[in-house]
């Protein structure tokens, strides 16, 4: 199973849109995909028309009574989406209270990793939508994943957020004593505005090794897709935004292949 986290501590930068877009594109190729909603706001959960205020089970429950090791329980939590082959591990708003309830308890940073270990043969990919704050949920995502995607809005203020995110990442990685490859993905790009162009240029200067060389353009079809609860590529296979995410997916896969080669060489 390949596990990718989509994270940025800044809100509204396209995290949930990236999870849904990449998930739909993976399914297009026949991959079995699990989307995981780690955000107490439950936007990903709402996207597929589940109500984070009233679901009776969610990711939250896996943090208690060793349920993350109970495959039957995990299957009870997982829900189908509009597309065959893509499932959802939903959030409920109770997740907002998790920090207070589990802080200081041992093993709480590895609940998602343990859950995914149970599901290893059931899915080819897990994509994790993460909350914008550094807490137990983001730490879980970073501990479980093998790759991080950081969507970053192409506007000046987003650069500060990006700096904070990269700093957080380095801090968490050093405390977990591991390295995590990450890719910065410029989003909401509008080539007609000076702000978008300047920000992209600045990003290239600051993070030359980690920046994806293309950008996700502004495309109103994303909003239309979310209004209908459909994957963007189900709405329109060839919209500008979907085509950009298809390129991004190809790039991420290529990096995975290169990593495999390196590991084999070692
Ligand atoms: N490339 C895009 N073009 C146009 N609209 C977009 C694009 N990407 C995202 N959006 C829209 O912008 C809004 C915010 O996007 P999204 O929910 O994906 O961000 P987020 O980072 O997950 O936000 P939050 O931090 O609140 O969870 C949504 O209404 C979404 O439809
Ligand atoms: Mg979101």
Provide the 3-class DSSP secondary structure of residue 162: helix
Residue 11 alpha carbon to ligand 1 centre in Å:
9
Atom in ligand 1 nearest the alpha carbon of residue 222: 31
CA distance 19 to 49: 16
- pLDDT tens for the chain, 266 residues: list them: 999 999 999 999 999 999 999 999 999 999 999 999 999 999 999 999 999 999 999 999 999 999 999 999 999 999 999 999 999 999 999 999 998 999 888 899 999 999 999 999 999 999 999 999 889 999 999 999 999 999 999 998 899 889 999 999 998 889 888 889 999 999 999 999 999 999 999 999 999 999 999 999 999 999 999 999 999 999 999 999 999 999 999 999 999 998 877 665 54
User: CATH no. for residue 176?
Assistant: 3.40.50.300
C-alpha–C-alpha distance, residues 77 and 5, integer Å: 20
What does the pLDDT read at residue 265? 56
Ligand 2 centroid vs 19 CA: distance in angstroms?
A: 9
| Model confidence pLDDT, tens digit, residues 185-228 | 999 999 999 999 999 999 999 999 999 999 999 999 999 999 99
**Ligand 2: centre distance to CA 106 (Å):** 28
Count up the domains in the chain and report the number: 1
Q: Residue 222 is part of which domain span?
A: 2-265
Task: Specify burial of residue 254 (Cβ count, 10 A radius: 0-12, 13-18, 19+).
Answer: exposed
Per the CB < 8 A criterion, the answer to whether 46 and 52 are in contact is yes
- Cα separation, 138 vs 234, in Å, equals 29
């Amino acid at each position: 199973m390949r596990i990718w986290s989509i994270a940025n501590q800044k809100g509204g930068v396209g995290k949930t849109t990236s999870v849904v877009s990449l998930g739909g594109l993976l399914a297009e190729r026949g991959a079995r995909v699990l989307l995981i909603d780690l955000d107490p706001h439950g936007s990903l959960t709402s996207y597929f028309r589940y109500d984070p205020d009233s679901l009776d089970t969610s990711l939250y429950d896996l943090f208690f009574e060793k349920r993350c090791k109970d495959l039957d329980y995990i299957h009870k939590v997982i829900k189908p989406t509009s597309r065959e082959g893509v499932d959802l591990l939903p959030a409920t708003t109770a997740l907002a209270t998790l920090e207070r309830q589990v802080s200081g308890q041992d093993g709480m940073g590895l609940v998602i990793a343990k859950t995914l270990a149970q599901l290893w043969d059931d899915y080819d990919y897990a994509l994790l939508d993460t909350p914008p704050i550094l807490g137990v949920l983001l730490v879980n995502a970073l501990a479980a994943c093998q790759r991080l995607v950081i969507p970053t809005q192409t506007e000046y203020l987003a650069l500060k957020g990006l700096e904070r995110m990269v700093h957080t990442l380095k801090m968490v990685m050093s405390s977990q004593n591991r390295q995590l490859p990450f890719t910065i993905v410029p989003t909401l790009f509008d080539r007609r505005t000076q702000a978008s162009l300047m920000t992209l240029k600045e990003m290239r200067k600051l993070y030359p090794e980690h920046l994806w060389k293309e950008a996700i353009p502004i495309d109103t079809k994303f909003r239309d897709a979310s209004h209908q609860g459909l994957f963007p590529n189900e709405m329109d296979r060839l919209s500008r935004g979907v085509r950009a995410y298809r390129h991004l997916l190809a790039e991420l896969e290529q990096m995975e292949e290169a990593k495999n080669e390196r590991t084999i060489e070692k």
